[in-house]
Amino acid sequence: MMKTHGEDTHLLLKRVSADDGDAFRFFYNLYYKDVFRYAYYFLGNRESCREVVSNIFFSIWKSRSSLTKVDNLESYLFIVSRNESLRFRQQQYLEEAVSLDELTFSLEHAAPDSPENDLLYNEMNSTLSDIIQNLPDRCRMVFILSRLEGLEYSQIAQRMNLSESTVRVQMKIAIDKIMVALRKYYPHLTLAAFFDFISFF
């Protein structure tokens, strides 16, 4: 079965959002393999995936009224699949929450050009970028110069006209604030996992 593109995809989503059961069955058959593949990426078990995929499409049907707002269907399906897969794992007591340790591991071992890898990286990248942008000005600049541009503390001190001790204090404040903010999204985040991810950032 050929995938729809552009206006055809928008029309299909519009029909599903308008309670068209036939359109939803077509949508289900069209994207079942993609959704199964996304779920398998997180679960690694075909039997579990079958149950989760049913939950995913049920979730999509329940929220069908919002489908017309979807700009990137591939990203939408991946995110819904991820959320339902992780919810399933929580229910099975396999883990209590998503951890950045796991996401970093996935990023390291996923196929370099896979859409899953890109989406995972983009999600983490976006979350961290937002947190960094909300840091106090001095903390933000010190963190960017140190972790993202690779400058030594002495170089940062010279560039910002600060003492090295002040740079160290500001760096500690920045890391503490970032860790507190990230743990709202990734409760099991460790400092080691955080610095692992920074190497990809």
CATH number at residue 179: 1.10.10.10
Query: Do 135 and 191 fall into the same domain?
Result: yes
Question: What pLDDT is recorded for position 35?
Answer: 92
Q: How many domains does the chain have?
A: 2
In which domain, by residue range, is 75 found?
7-91
- At residue 13 the predicted structure's pLDDT band, cuts being 50, 70 and 90, is very high
Query: Do 81 and 140 fall into the same domain?
Result: no
Distance CA 32, CA 54 (A): 9
Most confident of 44-48, 66-70, 113-117, 126-130: 66-70
49 within a domain of the structure (yes/no)? yes
User: Among 12, 33, 34, which residue's Cα sits nearest to residue 24?
Assistant: 12
User: Any idea of the CA torsion for 126, 11, 13, 121, to the nearest 10 degrees?
Assistant: -20
105 within a domain of the structure (yes/no)? no
Q: pLDDT tens across 97-124, in order?
A: 444 445 444 444 444 455 555 565 566 6
Question: What pLDDT is recorded for position 166?
Answer: 93
Instruction: Please state the rounded mean pLDDT for residues 78-86.
Output: 85
147 within a domain of the structure (yes/no)? yes
Query: Do 132 and 81 fall into the same domain?
Result: no
CATH number at residue 39: 1.10.1740.10
78, 123 contact by CB (below 8 A):
no
Q: pLDDT tens across 128-158, in order?
A: 788 888 888 889 899 888 877 788 999 999 9
Question: What pLDDT is recorded for position 130?
Answer: 82
Cα 159 to Cα 69, 155, 163, 168: the distances in Å are: 46, 6, 10, 14
